[in-house]
Amino acid sequence: MTAHTCYQLAVFGQPVHNSLSPAIHHRFARAMGLNVEYQAIECPAGELAGQLDTFRKRGGTGCNVTLPLKHEALDCAVAVAACASAAGAANTLVWENTGWHAFNTDGAGLVADLKRNHCALSDHRILIVGAGGAVAGILPALIEHQPAGLDLSNRNRDKADRLRDHWRNRFDLGVIDATTSVAAYDLIIQATSLGHRGLVPKLSDHWLHEETILYDLNYGPAHQPLQHWAEQRGVASIDGLGMLVEQAASAFARFTGCRPESQPVLDWLQARLNSRP
Report how far apart, in Å, the C-alpha atoms of 40 and of each of 16, 49, 147, 217 are. Answer: 6, 16, 37, 21
Query: If DSSP codes are grouped into helix, strand and coil, which group holds residue 62?
Result: strand
102 half-sphere exposure, CB direction, 13 A CA radius: 26
Catalytic residue check, 70 = yes
Which residue, 143, 109, 142, is CA-closest to 250?
109
**What is the chain's alpha carbon radius of gyration, rounded to the nearest angstrom?**
19
Q: Of the listed 70, 115, 159, 202, which one is catalytic?
A: 70
Report how far apart, in Å, the C-alpha atoms of 174 and of each of 129, 133, 168, 202 are. Answer: 12, 18, 10, 17
**Contact status, residue 35 vs residue 6, Cβ threshold 8 Å:** yes
Which bin fits 95, alpha (ψ -120 to 50), beta or left (φ > 0)?
beta
242: part of which helix (H) or strand (E)? helix 241-256
Q: Is 89 exposed, middle or buried (0-12, 13-18, 19+ CB in 10 A)?
A: buried
Q: Give catalytic residue positions.
A: 70
